Chains A and B, each alone.
Chain A
Amino acid sequence: MTKQPLILLHEESLRNSHPIFLFAPKETQVIYVWDDEYVLRSGYSLKRLIFIYETLCEMKVDILRGSTRDILQEISPSVVYIPTTNNGHLLEMIRSVEKFFPVEMVEDEPFVNLKKTMHYKRFFQYWSKVEKAASLQQGGQNA
């Protein structure tokens, strides 16, 4: 059987209009893994888990229970599309996936585009650079 691409959602990307759905080929299978080890490690209270689950139930996504690595090995995708994150636990999970499969990270739509890199030390240094664009539709990207 030909290997197929796969979208692996995580808790910070629960929206049907996330750019990942345009980035990946049409008809790509979308999964969310309920990984007991990850859930336990997160230490989340029940109300947090319920909020995530309620949100998932409104989405077009297969909710699969098991170890992320085992599930991906069973599906054996050609490539795994994953939304970007800076959550350390999720990054560890993503690194473990990268050991076995090609991974493409997909950014969410930006709030503003910053052309020059800067050091994000104090908020008002950043604000002075983005205020104008942040106050425009689409962050001024249509202007």
Chain B
Amino acid sequence: MLTLKNQFSDREELVAYVRSLAPWAEGRQSIILGGRQQAEIKLHTLDPIAYATTRNYGDGSVSRLSPYIHHGVLSLNEVRNHALILCKQPEQITKFIQELAWRDFWQRALSQNPEWAWKDIEPYKTGFNAEAYADLLPEDIAQGRTTVGCIDAFILELLQTGYIHNHARMYLASYIIHFRRIKWQAGARWFLQHLLDGDVASNNLSWQWVASTYSNKPYIFNLENVDKYFGKQVDTTAKHNRVLDASYEELHLQLFPNVRLKV
């Protein structure tokens, strides 16, 4: 048994030390720092009231607390208690509390049903059975070289920082499962490799929700939607995102030809 070092002169030294412990681990360090001090700094910049109206936008007031919550650095209880202090009425922050509740829900759901972590909870509602989906994540997705502009931007952010906006996670999951017809498990495994907040319950059950194996219909999106919410952050030109540049009706016909569109 070897006691490992816990004091370093700077972050570079710590990074080199961890790399020496796990030379097989891919990639580099994130700009996002671990630790309770960083968690408290982020907690004190929280704006749960603005979250209600801006959370879906790439530059919205999202908390970015999830890496700290996943590692137990902050408890959901502590974050909720702090958010309540920042408002006059709890109704002002219902959306934020609901977001915390989603995490609590995922945890409870997986604890009650451990097999849901990797097995389809329900059949796909896409007109295809599970066998129609590929098992492995293609290399162009893993490297962020799909040639779909906004998708590649989201992937590179994931690979570099280990964090992407929740809305971007849904776009990526939908692209992988429905536009590329790859099993949700392949995407979920890849997210767990990279996301600093990668949590089997929240991550895998969200992938199942997008896939439609844990919801009533598949989640899809189009370029217009990405442009509305992330137009300032990523390339949303039609020229670089052709596969996404269509109406929802057109995409539905193209992606799920065996399922009649409900109007």
Question: What residues of chain A have their CB less than 8 Å away from a CB belonging to chain B?
Answer: 11-16, 18, 34, 36, 39-40, 43-59, 61-66, 70-71, 74, 83, 86-88, 91, 108-112, 114, 119-121, 123, 126-127, 130-131, 134-139
Contacts and interface: CB of A to CB of B under 8 A. Distances in A.
Interface in B21-79: 21-22, 24-30, 32-37, 67, 70-78
B129 interface: no
Chain B interface, DSSP helix/strand/loop, else mixed: helix
B32 A51 contact: yes
A45 B193 CA distance: 6
A119 B5 CA distance: 45
B70 A123 contact: no
A134 B196 contact: no
A136 B195 CA distance: 30
- Greatest chain A CB density within 10 A among B18, B102, B113 is at B18
Interface of B: 1-8, 11, 14-15, 17-19, 21-22, 24-30, 32-37, 67, 70-78, 80-81, 84, 90-91, 94, 97-98, 100-102, 104-105, 107-114, 117, 161-162, 189, 192-196, 198-201
A57 B102 contact: no
A65 B71 contact: no
A123 B208 CA distance: 13
Q: Lowest 8 CB-CB distances: which A-B pairs, in order?
A: A54-B34, A120-B109, A135-B90, A51-B34, A47-B30, A55-B34, A46-B25, A111-B76
Nearest to A33: B1
Contact of A51 (B3, B30, B74, B108): B30
Given A15-B74, A86-B114, A138-B77, A54 B14 contact: yes
A89 to B, nearest CB: 9
B196 A51 contact: yes
Contacts of A54: 11, 14, 33-35
A33 B109 CA distance: 28
B8 A57 contact: yes
B36 A55 contact: yes
Nearest to B37: A58
A121 to B, nearest CB: 8
Nearest to A91: B114
A47 B100 contact: no
